[in-house]
Amino acid sequence: MPTSTDTSPPPAARSAGLAARAVDFVKRHAGELSRFAGVGGSAYLIDLGLFNLLYLGFDWADWSAKIVSTVIATTLAFLGNRHWTWRDRRGSAAAHRQYVLYFFFNGIGLLIALGCLWANSGLAQVWPQYFGSDLAVNLAANVVGVGLATVFRFYAYRTWVFPRHPELVEA
């Protein structure tokens, strides 16, 4: 009988390890996550309201309404994140440099949301009764798209836009 040289833990143990790491991450970064959620929640409400005003109220195309609402919400979220969420990480970094990076990563987040709108549009061709409604468009853009983009943006912001500077930790 052949012997196994695989020393990796069984799948259940790996899942438990991943869950434990996620809980540990949330515990270690609870303050940062709650401030990020507060700023992001406010920006989300602005994005959602403006998107629906443009899309439903003024009959704009879904993609153009999403672009405009995201750009405005992004600008307001940048100010909140720079001056509240990661105020301890500003250091000597110029605000314009941070804003360019912030906007770049939000552009990727916007592409994620637009990808969800694109997928919804394709699904609406096959199942219009499920994906052809204004509700489905809103769910694709503002729940699935924003949700996926938020996970990406949190990591990108704290890693590249507002990195921890060693000289600030010592102070």
In a domain, 22, yes or no: no
In a domain, 6, yes or no: no
In a domain, 14, yes or no: no
In a domain, 24, yes or no: no
The domain of 37 spans 31-170
Q: What total of structural domains would you count in the chain?
A: 1
In a domain, 151, yes or no: yes
In a domain, 48, yes or no: yes
Round the average pLDDT of the chain to a whole number and report it.
Answer: 85
- Segment holding 25, helix H or strand E: helix 11-28
Average pLDDT over residues 140-146: 93
In a domain, 23, yes or no: no
pLDDT of residue 149: 93
In a domain, 135, yes or no: yes
Give whole-number Cα distances, 17 to 23, 42, 77, 128, 146, in Å. 10, 33, 33, 41, 27
What pLDDT digit, counting tens, does each position of 32-89 carry?
889 989 999 999 999 999 999 999 999 999 999 999 999 999 999 988 988 888 777 7
Distance from the Cα of residue 133 to its chain's centroid = 24
